[in-house]
Amino acid sequence: MKKIPNKKLNKNKNKSNVKQAPRKKNYRNLKEFKVTDENELLLFLLEQFKSQSRNSVKSLLSSHRVSVDGAPVTQFNFKLYPGDTVIITTSAIKRKTRSNLPIIYEDDDLIVINKPSGLLSIASDNEKSSTAYRMLSDYVQQKDKHNRIFVVHRLDEDTSGVLMVAKNVKIQQALQEKWNEIVTKRGYFAVVEGVMDKPEGTFKTYLKKNSQNLMYSSKKPGDGQLAITHYKVIKTNGVFSLLDVNIDTGRKNQIRVHLGESGHFVIGDDKYGKPPNPIGRLGLHAYALEFIHPITGKKMSFSTPMPKEFLTLIEKNEKK
């Protein structure tokens, strides 16, 4: 996996009791640390900046100056695990991530990235600049100011994983017009509260939007948009369950609604429920996207690894 090069950063010296990541060229105003023990982010930062007040360290998070493995993080209790990379900068992370998105694949037609949790796919009323679309637009325009990208599909802001954009209108239209015909797999890892009633199953409902702009299910045929979600339990510890989820349709918030209505909310989903949030993020990751290229007819398959905090949470609390 390659990352879009960043031309404006440079590192400072390391703190004495923390292993520093390998030095990179052309990095300024940046401190980078490797995590060696499991910890919460605020506590970790307080250990590194012992001469600073607690409020000063908190301000690093609230002002978007901290990232973990390339993704901006503001939660004080965000879980850190051995091997994580924590970066602190002197300016807001969300501006710098425009040139630091992990690219899975790129050719003349497509760019596929591993979108971090907490990053919008496209602009919203409240956020115009810190989006995957804006970051990738900046990236392609570094090569030619006339280059553009085009939205093909979206992921929720707090969902991480495989996100694809088109590099020309022709491929965008071809993908969108034949999306349901050519897409053969859309796979997700989900961490939910509790234990599923069955080790595997399927939800088939019709999704509608209520007056609060939230989606909900109707079982009456035609009363809303058809939504089909398949799940299989990978592992459970009695408190949380890790699921392999595949969808036949791509409706708004489909997985979150179906799992929540089954009584097993995706952890961290404060939009549709109030489940625990032990990993400091939404427990949903798009790990696979497979489709037939509408122009070449070639099978395209993209995947990303499971976020390590998903499996760590299940195994840490697993009953012996």
Catalytic residue ranges:
156
Beta bridge partner(s), residue 207: 217, 225
Residue (of 54, 77, 304) closest to 189 by Cα position = 304
Beta bridge partner(s), residue 68: 71, 86
HSE toward the beta carbon, residue 57, CA cutoff 13 A: 15
Residue (of 292, 293, 19, 260) closest to 170 by Cα position = 293
Residues 229 and 283: their CA atoms lie apart, in Å, by 16
Residues 6+ apart with CB under 8 A from 119: 71, 72, 97, 130, 131, 132, 157
Beta bridge partner(s), residue 290: 185, 301
E strands within the chain?
2-3, 10-11, 29-34, 39-40, 66-68, 71-72, 79-80, 85-89, 102-106, 110-115, 150-151, 160-166, 183-193, 200-209, 215-218, 225-236, 240-247, 284-292, 299-303
Beta bridge partner(s), residue 33: 86
Residues 64 and 220: their CA atoms lie apart, in Å, by 45
Phi, psi of 159 (to 5 degrees): -90, 130
